[in-house]
């Protein structure tokens, strides 16, 4: 039983981080059909900003740093959307990939200039920095924080997209942007808002993992492939799919560590291949031609 609890918490914690990152990625794709490699940069900047703002302090300042870091990344995202993205919405995906990869490299270079190449760490607030025992299992309290954040993000996004005018406008912007614009909605502003929200989610994921990781150059590239795999398993454009994809990845990796430890990390690719063979658009995705 204790083994199951430890495995379950570990898998959910992994899935939680992946979900928050990939939710932003898939949200932007769903609303604007934009593939954004620089999403990994937003994740890394969220983490670096927390190390700068929060420094080594482990109290309330950490949470303030998380909020400030997310907002700062949102501002960066806004600038990127206004300066670059709105010029390539109608371009082919390959053009978008190349343009956002260019941004990815620029952001990586700037990060090296600002924060250097040494690893940085942050201590979690004392209230969530301990260990929790449950059913004979001991696991980090902070894992529950990450799982909690993921749940809040998931419910909030569902409410935003399904129960608010903002969400309806996003859907309308995909299906009939001209009609939406004719009805008086500022399409440019809407797209800027969605892109900024995607950046905030990436920044949030980067910010909340800081107490558990080495914050260092390379975080951007390490996360972006995993985020794409999650988004594609779930179906690009589907936030619910991202949640499902993250759970599948967390579970697949856990099964891998049990069945074939030397090959555990390849289980996520195996999961992706199986999904792509059975449902090329992802589990909850809709093929582009069918939209």
CB of 49 to other proteins, least distance (A): 16
Between residues 29 and 192, which has the closer beta carbon with respect to other proteins? 29
Between residues 97 and 187, which has the closer beta carbon with respect to other proteins? 97
Between residues 90 and 117, which has the closer beta carbon with respect to other proteins? 117
Helix H, strand E, coil C: the string for 144-213 is HHHHHHHHHHHHHHHHHHHHCHHHHHHHHHHHCHHHHHHCCCCHHHHHHHHHHHHHHHHHHHHHHCHHHC
The 10 Å Cβ neighbour count of residue 214 is 12
Q: Are 239 and 23 in contact (CB under 8 A)?
A: yes
Between residues 103 and 190, which has the closer beta carbon with respect to other proteins? 103
The 10 Å Cβ neighbour count of residue 113 is 7
CB of 192 to other proteins, least distance (A): 23
CB of 16 to other proteins, least distance (A): 9
CB of 220 to other proteins, least distance (A): 7
CB of 90 to other proteins, least distance (A): 14
Between residues 157 and 268, which has the closer beta carbon with respect to other proteins? 268
Measured CA to CA, the distance from residue 139 to residue 132 in angstroms comes to 6
Cα angle, residue 267 at apex, residues 261 and 270 outer, rounded to 5°: 150
């Amino acid at each position: 039983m204790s083994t199951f609890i430890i495995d379950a918490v570990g898998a959910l914690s992994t899935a939680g981080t992946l979900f928050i990152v990939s939710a932003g990625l898939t949200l932007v794709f769903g609303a604007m059909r934009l593939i954004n490699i620089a999403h990994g940069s937003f994740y890394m900047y969220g983490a670096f900003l927390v190390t700068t703002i929060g420094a080594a302090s482990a109290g309330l300042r950490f949470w303030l740093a998380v909020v400030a870091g997310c907002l700062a990344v949102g501002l960066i995202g806004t600038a990127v959307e206004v300066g670059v993205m709105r010029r390539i919405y109608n371009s082919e995906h390959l053009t978008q990939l190349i343009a956002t990869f260019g941004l990815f490299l620029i952001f990586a270079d700037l990060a090296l200039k600002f924060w250097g190449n040494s690893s940085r760490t942050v201590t979690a607030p004392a209230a969530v920095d301990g260990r929790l025992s449950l059913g004979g299992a001991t696991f980090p309290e902070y894992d529950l924080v990450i799982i909690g954040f993921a749940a809040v993000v998931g419910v909030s996004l569902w409410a935003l997209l399904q129960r608010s005018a903002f969400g309806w406008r996003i859907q309308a912007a995909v299906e009939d942007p001209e009609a939406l614009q004719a009805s008086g909605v500022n399409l440019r502003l809407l797209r800027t808002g969605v892109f900024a929200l995607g950046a905030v989610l990436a920044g949030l994921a980067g910010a909340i993992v800081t107490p558990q990781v080495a914050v260092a150059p390379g975080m951007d590239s390490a996360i972006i492939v995993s985020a794409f795999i999650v988004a594609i398993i779930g179906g690009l454009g589907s936030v619910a799919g991202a949640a499902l994809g993250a759970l599948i990845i967390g579970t697949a990796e856990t099964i891998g560590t049990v069945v074939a430890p030397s090959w555990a990390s390849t289980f996520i690719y195996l999961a992706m291949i199986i999904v792509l063979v059975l449902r090329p658009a992802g589990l909850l995705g809709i093929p582009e031609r069918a939209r």
